[in-house]
């Protein structure tokens, strides 16, 4: 019987990855299409991708597939051939990372979910087939010349903070399901204007464009392949980048540099910086921006409390974090507060927000 799940420890897998001599290519892709039996499709994918030594995370649902993976570069053509052998994925656009060493993932995880993007939409009349018009990089740049064009960033705050398109409107929420109705409310009265939605790889803005049309907006566009594909196209075609700064990505890199502009600031000292990191305290792992000097001064931690904790005996650290659900803890400057779920982190708010006040 074929192995359909990983059976090796994370530590061993990381070790193997670092010891690999062959180069890897990091790829992201998605596709909205109807899957009758997501579990069966998931198992079919796992058997083939495991053979090709693919690592990464893939979500499968009745509405389609969403993937961020890496593959040995020598197997890239075989991967493409396999994906294209699936009728709905034939000709699928594969977004190849532009700033990457191939060490983003060390295990293959394929999960079945209710949806590939949690959207909160329960209206049975909503139709993903009725979506906005694609625009490529040159078309995006051309539309941006029009002062009446509205550019909507459908990413989270921490993504927007380090890089975004010129004059892009941020939807101030960290969940896509909240952003959809917020975007509709913010754009009331602008139903006839050109509206361009964009996100990291295209999956969120494609659904957002369909939602805006569903809500009565007329001229809705979305950036094909998102920022990742835009960065590739402007490089290949020698176009000016209207995206400024760094593109946040959801793997170990936490960012791809698109332009040299640094538009964010260290959350601890306020100096220009756009390097995201997770707090080194395993009981915290707060996602925040930290410059090199603050990383050295605070041992990669977000606060004095966490810094003290990482120097405790390992067993004591385990006792402290036992039973705690960290969730996804992020520093959200747009709301002037920390948003961790850990009650232990609440007392650190004043210390980290000091970095914001110095900006």
Do 18 and 62 belong to one domain? yes
| Tokens of residue 225, six digits | 């392949």
pLDDT beyond 70 at 298: yes
Distance between CA atoms of residues 195 and 211, nearest Å: 12
Distance between CA atoms of residues 157 and 163, nearest Å: 10
> Residue 175 falls within a domain, yes or no?
yes
* Paired residues of 134 in beta bridges: 222
Q: Is 205 a catalytic residue?
A: no
Distance between CA atoms of residues 243 and 74, nearest Å: 32
Do 82 and 154 belong to one domain? no
What is the mean pLDDT of the segment spanning 274-299?
93
Do 142 and 54 belong to one domain? no
> Do residues 273 and 266 lie in contact, with contact meaning Cβ atoms separated by under 8 Å?
yes
- Of residues 22 and 227, more confidently modeled: 227
pLDDT at position 350, please? Answer: 32
Distance between CA atoms of residues 213 and 11, nearest Å: 47
Pairing of strands 95-96, 150-153: unpaired
Domain count, the chain: 3
pTM: 0.76
| CATH number, position 105 | 3.30.70.100
- Closest to 76 (Cα-Cα) out of 58, 56, 96, 99: 96
Owning domain of residue 301: 276-357
pLDDT at position 325, please? Answer: 55
**Final residue of a structural domain among 81, 112, 143:** 112
Read off the pLDDT band of 353 (50, 70, 90).
very low
Which positions ≥6 away from 74 have C-beta within 8 Å? 22
pLDDT beyond 80 at 7: no
CA atoms within 13 A on the CB side of 92: 29
Distance between CA atoms of residues 281 and 185, nearest Å: 39
| Tokens of residue 252, six digits | 């170990």
> Residue 46 falls within a domain, yes or no?
yes
pLDDT beyond 50 at 345: no
| CATH number, position 149 | 3.40.250.10
Distance between CA atoms of residues 13 and 9, nearest Å: 6
> Residue 300 falls within a domain, yes or no?
yes
- Give one word for 343, left, alpha or beta, with left for phi > 0 and alpha for psi -120 to 50: alpha
Neighbours of 69 (CB within 10 A): 25
| Tokens of residue 41, six digits | 């499709």
> Do residues 164 and 244 lie in contact, with contact meaning Cβ atoms separated by under 8 Å?
yes
Percent of the chain with pLDDT over 70: 81
> Do residues 358 and 266 lie in contact, with contact meaning Cβ atoms separated by under 8 Å?
no
Most confident of 13-27, 93-107, 178-192: 178-192
> Residue 75 falls within a domain, yes or no?
yes
Distance between CA atoms of residues 57 and 69, nearest Å: 6
Catalytic residue among 31, 199, 301, 302: 199
Do 173 and 105 belong to one domain? no
């Amino acid at each position: 019987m074929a192995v359909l799940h990983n059976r090796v420890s994370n530590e061993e897998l990381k070790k193997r990855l670092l010891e690999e001599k062959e180069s890897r290519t990091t790829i992201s892709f998605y596709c909205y299409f109807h899957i009758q039996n997501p579990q069966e499709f998931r198992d079919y994918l796992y058997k083939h991708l495991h053979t090709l030594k693919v690592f990464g995370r893939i979500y499968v649902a009745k509405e389609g597939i969403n993937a961020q993976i890496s593959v040995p570069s020598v197997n890239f053509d075989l991967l493409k051939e396999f994906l294209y052998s699936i009728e709905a994925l034939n000709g699928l656009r594969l977004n190849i990372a532009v700033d990457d060493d191939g060490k983003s993932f060390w295990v293959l995880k394929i999960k079945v979910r209710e949806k590939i993007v949690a959207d909160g939409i329960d209206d049975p009349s909503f139709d993903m087939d009725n979506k906005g018009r694609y625009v490529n990089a040159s078309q995006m740049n051309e539309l941006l010349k029009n002062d009446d064009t509205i550019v909507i960033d459908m990413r989270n705050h921490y993504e927007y903070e380090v890089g975004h398109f010129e004059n892009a409107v941020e939807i101030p929420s960290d969940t896509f399901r909240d952003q959809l109705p917020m975007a509709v409310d913010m754009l009331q009265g602008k139903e006839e204007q050109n509206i361009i939605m964009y996100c990291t790889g295209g999956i969120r803005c494609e659904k957002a464009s369909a939602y805006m049309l569903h809500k009565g907006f007329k001229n809705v566009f979305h950036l094909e392949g998102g920022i990742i594909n835009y960065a590739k196209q402007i490089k290949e075609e020698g176009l000016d980048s209207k995206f400024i700064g760094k593109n946040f990505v959801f793997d170990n890199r936490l960012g791809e540099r698109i332009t040299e502009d640094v538009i964010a600031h260290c959350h601890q000292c306020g100096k220009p910086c756009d390097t995201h990191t997770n707090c080194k305290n395993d009981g915290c792992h707060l996602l925040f921006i930290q410059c090199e000097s603050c990383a050295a001064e605070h041992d990669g931690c977000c606060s004095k409390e966490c810094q003290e904790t990482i120097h405790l005996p390992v067993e004591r650290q385990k006792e402290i974090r036992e039973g705690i659900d960290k969730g996804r803890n992020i520093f959200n400057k747009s709301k002037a507060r920390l948003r961790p779920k850990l009650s232990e982190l609440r007392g650190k708010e004043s210390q980290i927000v000091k970095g914001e006040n110095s900006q």
